[in-house]
Structure 1
Amino acid sequence: MSDSFDLGEPPQPPKPEAYRVLARKYRPQTFSELIGQDAMVQTLGNAIKRDRLAHAFLLTGVRGVGKTSTARLIAKALNCIGPDGQGGPTIDPCGVCEPCRAIAEGRHIDVIEMDAASHTGIGDIREIIDAVRYAAVSARYKMYIIDEVHMLSKPAFNGLLKTLEEPPEHVKFLFATTEVDKIPVTVLSRCQRFDLRRIPSDKLTDHFAHVAAAEGAEAEPEALALIARAAEGSARDGLSILDQAIAHAGLEGGAVRADAVRAMLGLSDRGAIRALFGMLLEGDAPGALAALRAQYDLGVDPQGVLRSLLETVHAVTLAKVGTPFDPAQPAEEREALTRWSSRLGYPLLHRLWQLLLRGHGEVAAAALPIEAAEMALLRVIHASTLPDPGELAKLVANGAPIAATTAAPAADPADAPAASLPTTVEQLAALLEAAKRPGLADQVRNHVRPIRFEAPELVISAAKPLPADFTRELGLALKAITGQNWRIGTADGPAQPSLRETEQAEADAERAQVLASPVVAAALHAFPDAELVGWTKTRSTS
C-alpha cells in the first residue's frame, strides 16, 4: 500500500494592502482630528454632556470640510460603549469598542448611509419610514446618514416630514449637504443645523505638513502653502493635490517643491505677479506684455494671471484699511503690499479692480485668450495715465481745457532727455512750474512735508491729509519731466514742514519783529485801536 500525500495548492504570498488615497487614509477618526470646526465640536460636546441631543442634525458646508466624517463621528459618539462596555454617549469616543470599530469600517447594521443623489424618490424614503419603527439591533441609536440630502425630490421631502417631526426615541437622522438653500424650510426647521466653515489656510498648511511627515515625504513650506491656497478651504481637495505632488516628487527623486506644485497646478508665481503688478503701476507696457507672455509660455492660463492680479488689488486694498495679513503670506509679499497700500489711493484701487475684473470676463469669453489678456493689461496701463473723474471735474471747473487734462504725453517719457533731478522740495515745485503744471506745484507747496528726499525717491508724511491719488499723479508727472521712474510714498514719523508752513512761519516771525520795534510799539501804545495791515511775506523763488 503506497502512501499518498495531498500537497494541495502551494502557499500564496500575502497580497499587498491596497493603496488608499490620502483623503481616505487621513479621514478624522475623532473630534480632536477634525480641523477648523471648534465651535461645532464644543456645541455638540455640551449637548451630549447635558443630554440635550436633537433627533435630527443638518451638516452644511462646502466640499471637503468634513460633513460626512462629522456625521460618522456623531454616530460613534452617540453609540460608543467604552472599552469596558459600560460607557455612554461621549464627545471622545474610544475607537476600540465594537460599535466604534464597526462604524469606522462602515459595517454597523444600525448605522445606515444613503446617497440621496442616487436615491431621490419617495420609494427610497418610504423604506426608511417603514424601518424606523423597529428598534436598533445592537446599538444605542439607529442612525440614518443621508448625504447630499438636497437631491431628494419634493415628494420625498414631504414624505419625511412627519417622521422628522415625531421620530422614535431610538432613531437619529444626520443630513449632509453642500446646497442648504435647496432644502425646504419645513425640513430645516426640524433639524439642528451646523455650518461647517472653510478651513483656514494656515491650519490646512499645518495639517498637510503632518500628513507629509507621516508619509515620509519631504515638502517645502511654500509648496504646502500653495496647496492649501489651491484647496480653497477643503481638506479633501488639498489632500488630493498633496497626493499628486508626492507622487510627482517620487518620480523626480526629491522633495515636494514649490515650483513643481506651481507647474502642476498651473499657478502663477507670486513673485512674477508682483513684478507684473508693479509694471502696470509704472506704465511699463513692453515689460508687462513680456511678463504676461513669460507666464503664458510656462503654461499659466491668461485668465489665471488676471485672477492673480485681482487678488493682488484686493490684498492691497485690505492692507490699506488695516486688515491683518494672512499668516501664510511670505514676508516679501507683505512688504510689497505695505508699500503699495501707502502709495495708492482708494479711487485708483477701485479703478484697477474694475478694469481687471472686466478684463477677466473678456478673457474667459474670448476666442484668443492671450491676446485678450494683453489688451486688458494695455487698457489698465493707459487708464493709469488718466486723471481720476473727480480730479478731472475739478480741473474743468478751474478752467483747464479737457484736451490738456486727458491727452497722453506727446512722446514716450523714456525718450525724453533726463533733466537734473531736484534735491529740495522748493526745486521740485519750481520744476513743476516750469513744466506748466501749476496746480500740482501748488499741491507740492501746500502738502509735501518730506521725511526723506533722495531723488528719485521721496517719502512724505502721512499725518496731513493728501489729495486723492496725489502720490501717483506726482510720480507720473516727474517721470514725464525727468525721464526716470520716481518712488513716492507716505509714512509716519518726524518730517520737515511744507513750503507753505515754512513761509507762514517766516512771515509770522517777521511780523512779530516789526511789532516789537520801538517805533511801532510806541505807535500802538499811543493808539491802542491801531492795527498793522497790508503786511505780506514775499515768497522766495530762488
Structure 2
Amino acid sequence: MNNNSKVLALKYRPQTFDDLIGQEVVAETITNSIKADKIPNAYLFTGIRGIGKTTTARIVAKALNCSNGIDNLCKENFCESCKSISESSHIDVLEMDAASKTGVDDVRDLIEFSRYGPTSAKYKIFIIDEVHMLSKQAFNALLKTLEEPPEYLKFIFATTEIKKIPITVVSRCQRFDLSRIKSSELLEFIKKIKDQENGKITDDALKLIVKISEGSVRDSLSLLDRALLSLDEGKELDLNSAQKIFGYFDKSQLIDLFELILKGEETKVISIYRKIYDQGVEPKVFINDFLELLYYFKNINSLTLESTNFSLNDEEFSKIKNLSNQIDSEVLILFWQFAISSLEEIDIVSNQHLSIEMLLIRLMHLSSVKSENKIENVETHLKSENFVKNTETELTSKTINQIKNVAQEEKIKPEVKTEIKAENKININAFEDLIEICSKKKEIKLKYELEKNVNLVKFEKNRIEISFNESLDKDFVKDLSSKLFEWTGERWIITFSKLKGQMSVKDKQKTVKKQLIDEMKNLEIFKSVIDKFPDAELIDVNSNKDGVDND
C-alpha cells in the first residue's frame, strides 16, 4: 500500500520508543530492563483507547529481536526482523486478537505452538490484544505457561479493561499503565503532522480536535484526517468550520445563553438555544456542555486556562471569571441538580428538543435566587409545579431532597408532632451552646463534625454561616437542620460561605496546647530537666486550675 494512501493513524504510527509521545517513563523503564537483561515473562499494557498499547507492544517486540541490539535499535533503515514485525509478518512474533479468539482451544493451540523455539529471532513473542476478552477457562489454561515459560518465550498483553483480567494473571505480568496524553503535548504533535501534510488549520480548530479526542492519539489523528479531507484547496479550516464538521458549537454562545438565563430574558434564551439546535447539536451533548460550563463557573478562581484542556479560549475564560463573581454558589448548585435530572428526563420524552427548552425556562425561574429568603421561595415554586408528588419517581425525589438541603426546608413527616412544648425548647445562642447541646444529647457524630470539620463564619438567630473542609460528612447539613428543629422548635438556615471563617474547635485546642508547651519550654525548670535528660521530650501540659502546688 502506498504510504500516502494510508490514514494518518497508520501513516504516523510510532516505530521506536523515541516516536512515542506521553509515555516516556514506560519507554525508559522497558529500555533499562532490556539493557540490564532483566526481561519479565510477560508485559501488560493498560489504558484508554488510542494511546499506544498495541504500538508499544510491537516496539517491545522489535527491541527484543532487533539484529542491531537495544543500543542501536533500528530507527530508519529497518533490519529484516524489525521490518517484518512492523508489517505483522514475523514468523516468531504472533499477534492474536482475543476479541475473535476467546476460547480455551485457541489458548491451547498457542501453548502447543510455544513448545518450539524461535526460527530466526532471539525470542518467540505472543502479542495478545484486548486480552480481557479471553474466557475464564482460557486464562486458567494460560496460567502455568505464563508463570514459567521457556527462556525464549515472552508474552505481551494489551487491554482497555484491566479489571476484567483475573488477578492471578495480572500478578504474573509486569504491568504498565499508559496515561492519557496531555493536551499541550497532543496539540504540538498534531500541529507537526498538519504541517507535514501541508494542511491549513488554525490553532483554535486544532485545540477543538484535542478536546474531542480526550487524550487519545488515534482519535486526534482520525479527526485531523477528517478535517484535512474537508478542506477546499487553498482554504484554511477555522474554528467555526471545525465545529460544524465535528458537531460542536461555539462555547461563547453557551456563555451568552447562561448570562441571559440569569437576566431572565426568556425570548432571547430560547432563540439562542434554537440556533444551537439548528447546528445539529444533540440534546445530551448540549446538557453535558452546559454541566461543564457550570463547573467552570463554580471553580473558575481555582483553575487556569491550561487546566480547562482547551475547552475555553482567553476571552471565554475572562468572561466566565467576571460573571462568576456575580453569581451565588446556591444558584449554580440548583442549576446543576436540574440539569442532571434533565439527562434522565430526555430519555422518556419523545421530543428531546422541547425538554431542553423547558429546562432553560425552569432555570430562569431559579436564576433570581440570591438570598436565603429567595431560596425558600424556590421550594414553594417547586411545589406549585407539582414536582413533589406521592407518585414521583425515585430520581425526582432525590433531586428535590437535594434542593431542600440547600434551602434548609426539610419537611417533617405527618406523624411527627410539629409543636414542641415551651418548657422543652432549648435556647441556642452561640456556637459553643450548639456543641454543648450535641454532647448532652449524645449526638457524637454531629459534635465531631462541628469541632473537627467546620469553620464558623457567622452565628445569628436561626442562621449559621460556615465554611468546611473536604472531610465534612455529606449528610451534615440535613442532620443538623433536623436536630435544630427538634431541639428549638424553629427552622434554622445553614449556609456555606466562601470566607475561610474561624479556626475549627479542634485546631484551636491544638494551638492552645502548642502555646502552653512553648511557654513551658522557656521556663528554667524545663531547661534544667533537659540538661539532665537530653533525650526528654515535652508532649503535653496540664494546667493546675486549682492553684495547688503539687511539687
Equivalent positions of 1:383-532 (< 5 A) are 383-386=366-369, 392=375
Which position in structure 2 is the counterpart of 1:277? 258
Counterpart check, 1:30 vs 2:13? no
Please tell me whether the aligned partners of residues 328 and 370 of structure 2 are also in contact (alpha carbons under 8 angstroms).
Answer: no
Cα displacement (A) at 1:293 = 0.4
Distance 1:214 1:323, change over 3 A: closer
1:350: how far off? 2.2
Count of equivalent residues:
391
**Could you tell me which residue of structure 2 aligns to residue 20 of structure 1?**
6
User: Identity of aligned pairs, percent?
Assistant: 40
1:141-156 matches, within 5 Å, as 141-156=123-138
Q: Deviations along 1:160-204, whole A, 9 cap, x unmatched? A: 000011111111101111111111111111111111112122222
Structure 2 gaps, min length 5: 386-456, 459-463, 467-497, 499-551
Check 1:151–1:90 CA distance in 2 against 1; reply closer, same or farther (3 A cut). farther
Give the Cα separation in 2 of the matches to 1:403 and 1:310.
25
Deviation at 1:324, TM superposition (A): 6.3
**Partner deviation per Cα, 1:352-377 (whole Å, 9 max, x = no partner):** 22222222332344210110000011
Question: Pick from 351, 354, 357: which aligns with 1:371?
Answer: 354
Partners of 1:154 and 1:405 lie apart in 2 by 52
- Whether contact under 8 Å (1:57, 1:193) holds in the other structure is yes
- The offset of 1:20, in angstroms, is 0.6
Partner of 2:45, secondary structure, is: strand
Give the structure 2 partner of residue 80 of structure 1. 66
Partner Cα distance (2:369, 2:72) in 1: 62
**1: CA distance, partners of 2:345 / 2:167:** 39
Q: Which runs of 5+ in 1 are unaligned?
A: 1-14, 397-401, 409-464, 470-490, 492-542
Computed over aligned residues only, the root mean square deviation of the Cα atoms, in angstroms, reads: 3.2
Q: CA deviation at 1:266?
A: 1.0
> Contact 2:187/2:206 (CA < 8 Å) preserved in 1?
yes
Alpha-carbon distance, 1:238 to partner: 1.4
Q: Which AA in structure 1 matches 2:167?
A: V
Considering only CA atoms, is the larger Rg found in Structure 1 or Structure 2? 1
Question: Secondary structure in 1 aligned to 2:100?
Answer: coil
Once residues 116 and 221 of structure 2 are traced to their aligned partners in structure 1, the CA distance between those partners, rounded to angstroms, is: 40
Give the Å deviation of 1:81: 2.5
**TM superposition shift of 1:404:** 12
Structure 1: how far apart are the matches of 2:154 and 2:31? 16
Q: 1:131 to 1:150 in 2, by over 3 A?
A: same
State the 1:308 CA deviation.
1.3
SS in 1 for 2:346: helix
Which of these residues, 280, 284, 287, is aligned with residue 306 of structure 1?
A: 287
CA contact (8 A) 1:303 1:373 kept: no
Query: Residue 280 and residue 112 in structure 1: after superposition, are their counterparts in 2 closer, same or farther (change >3 A)?
Result: same
Does the 8 Å CA contact 2:26/2:178 hold for their aligned counterparts?
yes
Residue type matched to 2:314 in 1? A
Q: CA, structure 1 residues 91+202, in 2 after alignment: closer, same or farther (shift >3 Å)?
A: farther
Q: Do 2:186 and 2:215's aligned partners in 1 also have CA atoms closer than 8 Å?
A: yes
Give yes or no for contact 2:14–2:20 (8 Å, CA) kept in 1.
yes
Match of 1:184 among 147, 166, 169: 166
Is the Cα–Cα contact under 8 Å of residues 94 and 100 in structure 1 kept in the other structure?
Answer: no
- Partner SS, residue 143 of structure 1: strand
What is the alpha-carbon distance in structure 2 between the residues aligned to residue 290 and residue 91 of structure 1? Answer: 63
Structure 1 partner of 2:221: 239
- Is the Cα contact below 8 Å between 1:268 and 1:308 reproduced in 2? no
User: Is it true that 1:331 corresponds to 2:314 in the alignment?
Assistant: yes
Cα gap change, 1:173 to 1:388, in 2 (>3 Å): farther
- Distance apart, 1:93 and its partner CA: 4.4
Q: What TM-score results when the alignment is normalised by the length of structure 2?
A: 0.65
Instruction: Summarize deviations over 1:36-86 as a string: whole Å, max 9, x none.
Output: 22222232233223322211011111111111101001111121222xxxx
How many Å separate the matches in 2 of 1:203 and 1:171? Answer: 36
Written as runs of structure 1 = structure 2, the 5 A alignment for 1:61-140 is: 61-82=47-68, 87=69, 89-90=70-71, 92-95=73-76, 96-140=78-122
CA–CA distance in structure 2, aligned partners of residues 59 and 405 of structure 1:
51
Q: Does the CA-based 8 Å contact 1:80-1:90 persist in structure 2?
A: no
Which has the higher mean CA deviation after the structures are superposed, 43-52 or 264-273? 43-52
Whether the aligned pair in 1 keeps the contact of 2:96 and 2:128 (CA below 8 Å) is yes
